[in-house]
Amino acid sequence: MGEAKVYVTRLRNQVDLRRLAFTKPTGGAENCIFCQIVSRRSPSNVVYEDERHIAFLDIYPFSRGHTLVCPKEHGETIWDMGETDIAELFQVASKVSKAVVAAVQADGFRFVQNNGEAANQVVAHVHVHVIPVKMEDRGRFTDRKRFTPDEMEETARLIRSELADN
């Protein structure tokens, strides 16, 4: 790529990033709730972990088994990540999705990945939502659900056990 093209690409990225700038309720890595989950300073129902990723149940799920897959390293949006890391994140999300779908006997699933305030990103640490869907909810976005801590842990246990089997 020529120097001029590199410069134009860089400039375009800067402009786009500025447009994407959003308020950061967590105020950076120090106060980031997902970093706290990674370091176990905050509790969560962890279903999967490797050296560079963690997956845990969403505290306020759209459906039973709704899981968040994150890189452990703090970055606010997917544009903070290198392309190889993005590919790895989705590889992990794909693996986790199979276990989630099997564990809750879903018929399909959604990946949702919000970037920026306009996209309704609430937690400023990159994450992929894995949202299992049943045929009865076909095409619909359901309301968020509440499960008891025991129900959440049982769901997490089922997902972990599916992951262990594969």
Positions in the binding site for ligand 5GP (CB under 6 A):
33, 44, 56-60, 68, 114, 120-123
**Among 53, 66, 74, 127, interactor with Zn ion by CB under 5 A:** 74
Question: Which residue's entry shows tokens 């706290």?
Answer: 36
**Comparing C-alpha atoms, which of 98, 96, 129 is closest to residue 111?**
129
| Active-site residue flag, 127 | yes
Q: What residues from 40 to 69 belong to the interface with Zn ion (CB under 5 A)?
A: none
# of chain residues touching Zn ion (CB under 5 A): 5
Stated as kind and residue range, the H or E segment containing 71 is: strand 67-71
Cα–chain center distance at 166 = 21
> Which among 47, 34, 141 has a CA at the least distance from the CA of 98?
47
Q: Give residue 137's identity as a one-letter amino acid code.
A: D
Write out the binding residues for Zn ion, residues 108-127 only, by CB under 5 A: 125
Active-site position among 53, 74, 125, 127: 127
Residues with a known catalytic role: 127
Binding site for Zn ion (CB under 5 A): 32, 34-35, 74, 125
